[in-house]
């Protein structure tokens, strides 16, 4: 015996299928937008988008925004991108990229996801652990190639403190310094000079 669907039933089921299709795509786009992966504010010239994002997020953890600008505010990742492209030898570029790849693979083993896709808490914990391990390894064998995280930290600090906000808002800056006074109490001297 054949079961026939009347016209009203067919229209109702078609409308339900269409509604499910529209709602599911809208729901997926909402869920996708909830990810904690910020976009870059520049186009990388040497790194891929993912690599530049990793550098940007790690640099912001190293020098976060407080009452002074953070690493992303002054364009640290863009500076590192240009520096590695224009100033590193090809073999040093390869070492840097290999170190970054290993850093990201270790993040997958540590918290089950790539570094840029981890929660901020996971990123901070992981970065601190990798940094501490690298410092201990470098103390044990100073002749080995420098670990990626220490290179990144050095480049981040260099990029930040040579930027205008880093030199003027974090360090003391006096365009024309005065006379040299060798024996001044530290309380009078203040912050480090740019």
Percentage with pLDDT > 70 across the chain: 86
DSSP at 186: H
User: Alpha-carbon distance 66 to 134, whole Å?
Assistant: 26
pLDDT in tens, 161-178: 999 998 888 887 777 667
pLDDT at position 190: 72
DSSP at 60: H
Structure-token pair, residue 194: 């740019």
pLDDT at position 143: 65
Q: Are 62 and 72 in contact (CB under 8 A)?
A: no
User: Alpha-carbon distance 89 to 91, whole Å?
Assistant: 5
Put simply, whether the predicted model's pTM sits higher than 0.85 gets the answer no
Residue 3 has pLDDT above 80, yes or no: no
pLDDT in tens, 116-144: 999 999 999 999 999 999 999 888 887 67
Structure-token pair, residue 35: 């990810």
pLDDT at position 145: 76
pLDDT in tens, 35-87: 555 678 889 999 999 999 999 999 999 999 999 999 999 999 999 999 999 99
């Amino acid at each position: 015996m054949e079961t026939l669907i009347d016209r009203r039933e067919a229209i109702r089921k078609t409308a339900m299928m269409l509604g499910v299709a529209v709602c599911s795509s809208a729901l997926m786009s909402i869920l996708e937008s909830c990810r904690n992966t910020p976009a870059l504010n520049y186009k990388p010239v040497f790194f891929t988008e993912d690599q530049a994002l990793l550098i940007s997020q790690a640099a912001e953890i190293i020098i976060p925004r407080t009452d002074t600008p953070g690493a992303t505010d002054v364009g640290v990742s863009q500076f590192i991108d240009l520096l590695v492209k224009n100033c590193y030898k090809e073999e040093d570029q390869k070492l840097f990229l290999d170190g970054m790849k290993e850093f990201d693979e270790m993040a997958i083993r540590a918290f089950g996801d790539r570094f840029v896709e981890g929660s901020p808490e996971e990123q901070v914990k992981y970065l601190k652990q990798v940094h501490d391990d690298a410092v201990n390894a470098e103390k044990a064998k100073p002749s080995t190639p420098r670990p990626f995280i220490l290179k990144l930290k050095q480049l981040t600090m260099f990029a930040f403190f040579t930027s205008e906000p880093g030199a003027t808002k974090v360090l003391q800056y006096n365009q024309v310094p005065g006379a040299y006074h060798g024996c001044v109490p530290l309380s009078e001297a203040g912050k480090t000079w740019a």
